[in-house]
Structure 1
């Protein structure tokens, strides 16, 4: 039981990062679908402020979790892949708000999630 608690305590940042990546992906997909179905409902969820704040949090948690994992297990590949995802997500913030930005954001989130997954696997 103690070993299991220690395992989850060490892995919580990657778990949080994966959770945020999943929430971001769900948000992007749900917003796109909702806008296609109900154009008037997209005003709040499709707001650039929500997108920028969410990506900012995802980037901060991603950097923290990936660096922490690299220090713990010594493998650079998860951090390198996660950094690519963070770069794509950061690049999406520079695009005009719309379809292209959503695609780049989802690709970046997926790459970052892969980095978090590799980080978890390397820590085992």
Structure 2
């Protein structure tokens, strides 16, 4: 039973890393496609995508990083992930464009790093 729970926690961290990467790709493609080519603005820059992505990041981050603290007792991954999530949330309020992309990419980078630290701390 304990192995099954550990496997689920590890999958959540790995999914968090993948989700962070997808978010970064979305930001870069959004800025390039909309800013340079003028394509896909309605879809790529939709506020709904950003709100849903942030909600998923908060849910997965809280579950996997929070469980990580309970498992290995190290709070650093949770704190790093929290700062990353705060940057992602702040990006929702700066408007579309480069500042939003920079804040989001910094945030998802920190969240991904937190998930990686969480996985390593569990070993």
> TM-score, normalising length from structure 2?
0.88
Other-structure match for 1:119? 118
Other-structure match for 1:109? 108
Q: Which runs of 4+ in 1 moved over 6 A?
A: none
Other-structure match for 2:34? 35
Other-structure match for 1:49? 48
Distance (whole Å) between structure 2 residues aligned to residue 118 and residue 55 of structure 1: 20
Matched residues, number: 122
Distance (whole Å) between structure 2 residues aligned to residue 93 and residue 21 of structure 1: 16
Q: How do 1:92-103 residues align onto structure 2 when only pairs under 5 Å count?
A: 92-103=91-102
Moved more, 88-97 or 67-76: 88-97
Distance (whole Å) between structure 2 residues aligned to residue 113 and residue 96 of structure 1: 23
Moved more, 65-74 or 46-55: 46-55
For 1:81, what is the secondary structure of its paired residue? helix
Gaps of 5+ in 1: none
RMSD: 2.0
Alpha-carbon offset, residue 97 of structure 1: 2.5
Gaps of 5+ in 2: none
1:68 aligns with 2:67: yes
